[in-house]
A and B are shown apart, each in its own frame.
Chain A
Amino acid sequence: MLYREAGDFKSTYAADQQTFPIRSERMLFWMAMAVAFIAMPLLLGAYPEGSTYWVKAILLPFLVWSMIALGLNILTGYCGQVSLGTGGFMAVGAFACYKLMTAFPDLNIVICIVLSGAVTAGVGVLFGLPSLRIKGFYLAVATLAAQFFLVWMFNKFAWFYNYSASGQITAPERTILGIAVTGPNSAPWATYLLALTLLFAFAWVARNLTRGRIGRSWMAMRDMDIAAEIMGVSPLQAKLSAFAVSSFYIGMGGAMFFSIYLGAAEVTEAFGIDKSFDALFMVIIGGLGSILGAFLGAGFIVLFPIFLTVVMRDGLGWPTATVEHFQIMIVGGLIIFLLIVEPHGLAQLWRLTKEKLRLWPFPY
């Protein structure tokens, strides 16, 4: 009886256009948020010995990748522009964050992360310019050039990594209200809460952008670009704003990836082409053009391999090497299976489930 809309009437357009139009769905959402924001940090704070693993291996990667998937989903899912430059844009965010943190030691880490997003947005617009002339696979190749160029640039010019001997960038310790959130002494629960808060705020912004005029101009560009142009949607504004917003999110994701999650990064290893593909898998499997899809996709790609490892290694007691092979095979197989069964992704599965739930248990 959790999912019922009987008696839940809308009498204003505002009520009709809510993100969660059904009351029980809204309650479920806020309960989940209460658990994530209050219960989870308390739990992590209460058991510091186990919390490091949970935060470092499960929660932080999920949150950070969700942010990145959100960004790519805006570009690919909403505006229909394929990008393989995600890893490169993450690197821009990470290096911008590093330079800001080291150049302005007093600057709050949240501001650093948001500014890194802004820097990446600028770079994204620059690499988005080809999209005004080319589409589809050709654009994918053009963004691939961005990936390789940016990684090469961060390797080549030592200024970016402050001339450190190893070529690595390392996040210095930064605090919020006296609690370390970056660096080796950071408390796991605090890093989790920071990442969660940023993600929550910007997921809300993403939802707002996609439901209004700008979101509609992106989707119009995706579905039928010539008609959109004749309706008065400027391709220049729509495409470049999609690149800007998308890169903003990916840049913030990259900054969080480096400062909160990894703590130290080497550009070729941390922001290689495989990261671009991971992000693309997330948005395709999660569901193109869906905010929820970004989270589901990130969850699937990040968490499912961990789940498999735990089951096979700890549950069945198989050797680690075997587990690793099986894990890659199973995840790869599942990706293909999902694409065949539900090409619109996990978000569409959830939508269909909701349709069924509305009628359950009397489907006629």
Chain B
Amino acid sequence: MNAPLKTADLRASERFQMTAHQDGIAKGETLLAVENVSLSFGGVKAITNISFDIRKGEIRAIIGPNGAGKTSMLNVINGFYHPQEGTITYRGEKRSQMRSTDAARQGIARTFQNIALFKGMSTLDNIMTGRITLQKRNIFWQALWHGPAMKEDLEHREAVEHIIDFLEIQHIRKTPVGRLPYGLQKRVELGRALAAEPALLLLDEPMAGMNLEEKEDMSRFILDVNDQFGTTIALIEHDMGVVMDISDRVVVLDYGRKIGDGPPDEVSQNQDVIDAYLGVSHD
């Protein structure tokens, strides 16, 4: 169905370097710091006084039982929720109230727990949408198309093709994503987030509902993204095996509070964490 394209080169990802959002922060330094953040909805406290940091180039896992405030934390980081208290410092700058579109422009991309793809659009268009903040031509050039707008679109198409090669989804390039199986949809969603060439990639349960093989594939992609593009990743995941294997540092939340923070093996020995997961009463 898909005609062969010239760049269908399996090692394309090696040639492809993400260029956008290069900042002066060296690997291992703090990229984003959350300090004393509290978030509540009316009387419900979702997050209470949480502080942690994400270092450039690491894979940071956020774990915790259901309702611990993990997704709320991601929503705070990408500007969708506004915490009542506390500060967030991103790339050394203290962030004030911002909209999520601004966070996207500053290089924070994410995937969603329940797949939030654009169902009516093809895989290609979905991933192209990830590059929307990088495209600049205005409506008049777009209306003429032939010329600058087309040139720009084709350049971005090429970058997107690299991502498609990287994620091994060439065969579904033109398929409407609504028709794809769950595992592939998750992969397309990762592709859409990657297309923005993010400095910080937030993954909300990238492996939920997957079988073992799909989980292994996804883990490989996450490690490769981190390794080849140097993308900093913060992920929420329930599969402890995966979390302990792939993450550099883990932060553990329970009832909106932080109960553990550190390397995986250290966290897994922490009594509070074990209690939270086994449901031991706190008194």
Contact = CB atoms under 8 A, between A and B. Distances in A.
Given A231-B104, A231-B196, A213 B135 contact: yes
Of the candidates B129, B149, B154, the one having the most CB atoms from chain A within 10 angstroms of its own CB is B129
B125 A219 contact: yes
A275 interface: no
A232 B144 contact: no
A211 B154 CA distance: 12
Interface stretch (A11-19, A28-36, A152-160, A261-269): A11-19
Nearest to A221: B118
A9 interface: yes
A214 B142 contact: yes
Nearest to B144: A208
A228 B129 contact: yes
Contact of A220 (B4, B109, B112, B118): B118
A222 B6 CA distance: 33
Interface residues of A, number: 36
Interface string B156-170: 011001000000000
Contacts of B161: 13
Given A231-B196, A289-B120, A214 B80 contact: no
Contacts of A219: 118, 120-121, 125, 129
Interface residues of B, number: 43
Contacts of A217: 129, 132
Interface string A217-242: 10110111011111111100000010
B142 A223 contact: no
Contacts of B103: 230
A228 B133 CA distance: 11
B170 to A, nearest CB: 12
B110 interface: yes
A208 B4 contact: no
A229 B101 contact: yes
A233 B119 contact: no
A241 B139 CA distance: 9
B263 to A, nearest CB: 30
Contacts of B120: 219, 222-223, 289
Interface of A: 8-14, 16-17, 205, 207-209, 211-214, 216-217, 219-220, 222-224, 226-234, 241, 245, 289
